[in-house]
Amino acid sequence: MYDAGKIISGIIIFFILVSFPIWISAASGTIGDVPELNLPADEEQCVEDAEWMRANHMDLLIDWRETVVREGVRVYTASDGKEYNMSLTDTCLDCHSPKAEFCDQCHDYVAAVPNCWSCHVDPGGS
């Protein structure tokens, strides 16, 4: 076999580079980190079931947005019959403020960058 040494060391270097993200986070101890959510202390439940919210809050927000802006309806009746003002800042952030300790925790983790805050004013600072 020609150049076996070069090929094998090339393969090894390749695998070290490819696995870089894994061992660097292992080395810095951040592997297995999960977002730390600061849940509202004085509230028991979310607009909908927490499990459902985790998966579907983005669709719910888009739905609220369409209903408010396009249909002019501002009251949302949750599945448990409670009524909420359909507002990103007045409702969601009323319980989940500051957003940096809640929304951003997850979004930074999954690298989701909702552009909402370039217009909607975060009451707990920018």
Partner 1 sequence: METNRRVFLKVAGLATLGFMVTKPALDVFARGQFGEASVGEALDPPHEVGTTTKWGMAVNLTACSEKDGCTACTDACHDYHNVPDIDNKEEEIKWIWTAPYEKVFPEHGNEFIEDDLRGSEVMVLCNHCEHPPCIKVCPTRATWKREDGIVMMDFHRCIGCRYCMAGCPYGARSFNWKDPRPFIKETNPDFPTRTRGVVEKCNFCAKRLSKGLQPACVEACPEKALTFGNLLDDHSELREILATHTIVRRLPELGTEPNVYYYKAD
Q: Where are the alpha helices (DSSP H) in 29-79?
A: 50-71
Under rule CB under 6 A, which residues in 65-84 are in contact with ligand HEC? 65, 68-69
Please choose which of ligand HEC, partner 1, none residue 91 contacts, taking the beta carbon within 5 to 8 angstroms, the exact cut-off set by kind: ligand HEC
For residue 111, which amino acid is it?
A
Under rule CB under 8 A, which residues in 50-69 are in contact with partner 1? 65, 69
69 HSE (CA, 13 A, CB side): 8
Quote the distance between the C-alpha of residue 121 and its chain's center.
Answer: 18
Tell me the sheet residues that pair with 83: 77
- Look at residue 92 and give its three-state secondary structure: helix
Q: Is 107 in the site for partner 1 (CB under 8 A)?
A: no
Nearer to partner 1, 10 or 123 (CB): 123
- Residues near ligand HEC (CB under 6 A) are 37, 39-40, 43-47, 50, 53-54, 57-58, 60-61, 64-65, 68-69, 86-92, 94-96, 99, 102-103, 106-107, 110, 112, 114-116, 118-120
